Amino acid sequence: MPSTYTPITSTTLSSAQSSITFSSISGTYTDLILVFSNVKLSSGDSAIDFQVGNGSVDTGSNYDFNIAGARSSSTTPFSHSLDTTTLGRSNWFTSITTSQAAMSQIHFINYSNTTTFKSILANSSVDPGSANYSGVELTLTTWRSTSAINTIKIMPNVSTFTAGSTFTLYGIKAA
Amino acid sequence: MADTYKALSTVTVGAGGSSTITFSNIPQTYTDLRIVLSARTDRSGFPNDNIRVYPNGSSSNLSERYLLGFGSGVTSATDTSGLGAAGAVGASATASTFSNVEVYIPNYTGSTNKQFAVNAVSENNATDGRQGLTANLWSSTTPITSLTIVPSSGPNFVQYTTATLYGVFNADVSTPPATPTIGTATADNASASITFTGVSNAASYTMTSTPGSITGTGATSPITVSGLTNGTAYTFKVKSNNPFGSSAESAASNSVTPTPAAYESIATVSVGSGGASSISFSSIPSTYTHLQLRYIAQKTSNGSMYIRFNGDTGTNYTNHTLQGNGTAVSSNANTGANGTDIGASDSSGNFAASVIDILDYTNTNKNTTIRQLFGRDYNGSGVVWLKSGLWLNTAAVTSITLVPDSTNVVQNSHFALYGIKSS
């Protein structure tokens, strides 16, 4: 039986970059999983966001997200949501120093169907350490569009990804 | 002019009759096949009978649309039980009367679905005659290597029924084709796919592995060679074939090493119009280490959706949930339940998304655990959760049922079950 978990493309940055875009994604899979690892930012703390679209990314106010997580600055977990915003979200808090790295798996389930809004699940973590914004997060983003997703852009809300950050897109195909 | 139309095999039914006519080991060196059939069956009480043609012994993935004239009228219908409606006379037809049938199969070695055309007539007696035109499709990309013909009602073809299989080659040449150019080999699980550049006047191509001399045949690039040993490095050579011989082999491809697939699709359920009151995955193979269930789902009204294993509806499930609702995080427990609530959205929200991992599902020394990532959105509010679930039973999981508590799962909900191997 052929493998149904297929790497589509993988990029490790050789220099700092403000965003990564995956375009012309084949619609032949059932789900997509975007895995990023060893992601660090060149300065400051920032959420890591994404936008999706068909042909080009949707920059309109067509995203909702809901986050639950915990961070090292507090023993109290947090939950947060935003409605009709311009960005989807992988993780709300990420590294504040270059010594901390973030990772995430973002699940684009049934991404190419053209009848439902897209529900996108992300589970993310930032190196646990002494910094305020390390922790774990689980996020659901809704993209208010029934269009198939064939373009994904991922970027820090501020700052840039540093060299060594790796982004891999996988396709999963159901029977 | 080259001889590009050759009789490959003839079957004549002897005394006592025969329930099947089979052409096997069909050479892969022609472009098309043609069967000419003169048939009569022992179908009692009828002057007519149908025939079925099964490629590679398969009676599945077959469909047909036929147009049938029977003297006093015309009918047309679809059928999925086999290929080739109309095609034989029955026992009550005029004595010594046989049908006259052609089955034409173009591109039988190709990697596309296979089309069959059946033209059948039988002038059965003074009051019954049949003329059938049938368009058939075998939805398979596998080259045809055998054809089995059976009476639809029969049960037997009678003595003197004859069938001849012809090979048809679509180029007016009399020499073997030139040598194709090897392309790139790509490994998969116990197989490899190899591209090549074809040549003129070739009916098929044969790809051969080194080591092992394992072959794969097809009419177009790429060709898949199966039956390889995972962990062994292989190269491949390709040659072209037609009825007049084969070319020399090409240069060798790059070396590739097949590896086992660790993640495979088991089954999918897409909910259609009218919704579904339950989603079931049964007869789950035990050949994996873990299972993963991925879905998007919505219900018609608020409530729960439960996951149950092996049909167990007893109060044998517990779960704990860490969840955030956009303003606060909470944790809750649910013990002694008759299933684990894995959630869906309702019609006031958007489709929920979920990934559930079920570890070590065949182990009979462990209770079954699940881990779920889940989220649903209600236009800005909503919930995300991480859930642990336990089925208090050490039986191997062989079936999974998802049951909404009171209302249906709606159309466009989509569930997919995957198997994950550890080695």
Tens digit of pLDDT for each residue in A25-69? 999 999 999 988 778 888 767 788 999 999 999 999 999 888 887
State both tokens at B358: 């079920």
CB B297 within 8 A of CB B356: no
CATH code for B4-169? 2.60.120
Residues of B in contact with A78 (CB under 8 A): 324, 329
* Of A77-86, A160-169, B42-51, B212-221, the least confident: A77-86
Interface test with A, best of B259, B294, B357, B420 (most A CBs within 10 A): B294
A11: closest CA of chain B, how far (Å): 21
Of B296, B350, B383, nearest to A109 by CB-CB distance is B296
Write the burial class of residue B139 (CB in 10 Å: 0-12 exposed, 13-18 middle, 19+ buried).
Answer: exposed
CATH of B263-420, one of 2.60.120, 3.40.1000, 2.60.40, 1.10.3470: 2.60.120
Interface test with B, best of A71, A81, A85 (most B CBs within 10 A): A81
Type of residue at B278: S
Region of residue B82 (phi > 0: left; psi between -120 and 50: alpha; otherwise: beta) = left
User: Would you write out chain B's pLDDT as a tens digit for each of its 423 residues?
Assistant: 455 678 889 999 999 999 999 999 999 888 888 888 889 999 999 888 888 899 999 888 888 777 777 777 777 777 776 665 567 888 888 888 888 888 888 889 887 788 888 888 888 777 778 887 777 788 888 899 999 999 988 789 999 999 999 888 877 677 899 999 999 999 888 899 999 999 988 989 999 999 999 999 998 899 999 999 988 999 999 999 988 899 999 999 999 998 877 788 999 999 999 899 999 999 999 988 889 999 999 998 877 899 999 999 999 999 888 888 888 888 888 888 889 999 888 877 789 999 999 988 999 988 998 988 899 888 767 888 888 889 999 999 999 999 998 889 999 999 999 998 865
CB A122 within 8 A of CB A108: no
Interface test with A, best of B264, B330, B350, B384 (most A CBs within 10 A): B384
Reduced to 3 states (helix: H, G, I; strand: E, B; else coil), residue B102 is strand
The residue in chain A having the minimum alpha-carbon distance to the alpha carbon of residue B295 is A109
Nearest to B296 by CA among A167, A31, A56: A31
B264: closest CA of chain A, how far (Å): 5
Reduced to 3 states (helix: H, G, I; strand: E, B; else coil), residue A119 is strand
Please state the φ and ψ torsions of residue A97, each to the nearest 5 degrees: -130, 160
Nearest to A88 by CA among A124, A131, A128: A124
A98: closest CA of chain B, how far (Å): 29
* Residue A69 to residues A35, A170, B70, Cα–Cα distance (Å): 19, 25, 73
DSSP designation for B16: T
Its ipTM equals: 0.80
Type of residue at B380: G
Neighbouring-strand partners of residue A53:
A57, A151
The residue in chain A having the minimum alpha-carbon distance to the alpha carbon of residue B293 is A174
* Residue B125 to residues B90, B121, B366, Cα–Cα distance (Å): 10, 12, 71
How many interchain CB pairs under 8 A, A with B? 157
Residues of B in contact with A79 (CB under 8 A): 324-329, 384
Write the burial class of residue A9 (CB in 10 Å: 0-12 exposed, 13-18 middle, 19+ buried).
Answer: exposed
* Residue B339 to residues A121, B311, B330, B416, Cα–Cα distance (Å): 24, 10, 21, 19
A16: closest CA of chain B, how far (Å): 32
CB B403 within 8 A of CB B308: yes
